[in-house]
Amino acid sequence: MKKAFNLFVALMAVVVMASCAGKKNFDALNGEWNVVSVGEMAVPDSVDAFMGFDIAKQLVYGSTGCNQLTGALPAEVNPEMPIFAAMGSTRMMCVDMTVEDALLPALGQVVDFKVEGDNLYFLNAAGTTVVSLAKR
């Protein structure tokens, strides 16, 4: 009976540690970030595509270089749900919508992120970078 209890306790510890390991908060995102690339496409310097995060208010905002973005952040990262599921944008037509046409679908794939220094990477479910950003 004692062995079974010890095994149960050990298994519960592993489950708790695994569930906590995947949890990540958004504090490192606070502030504004320029969109540097979407997939393999580099964003030209002439396109002011950026994303901003107000972590205290759980808000995200920005620009696709054409239209404005706004939305809410979830309480934590959940790899089964896109981070930017609750986003909206204005819908103006612009002369060049190349960046927007790539960025909006890419944001719909983002389930995780990593910050390395002044660089931010949005990752899809396969762990592939779909959007790269740099601190403004």
> What pLDDT, in 10s, does the model give residues 5-47?
333 333 333 333 333 334 577 999 999 999 999 999 999 999 9
**In this structure, which amino acid lies at residue 14?**
V
Q: What is the pTM of this model?
A: 0.81
Beta-strand runs (E) in 9-107: 31-38, 41-42, 49-54, 59-64, 68-72, 87-89
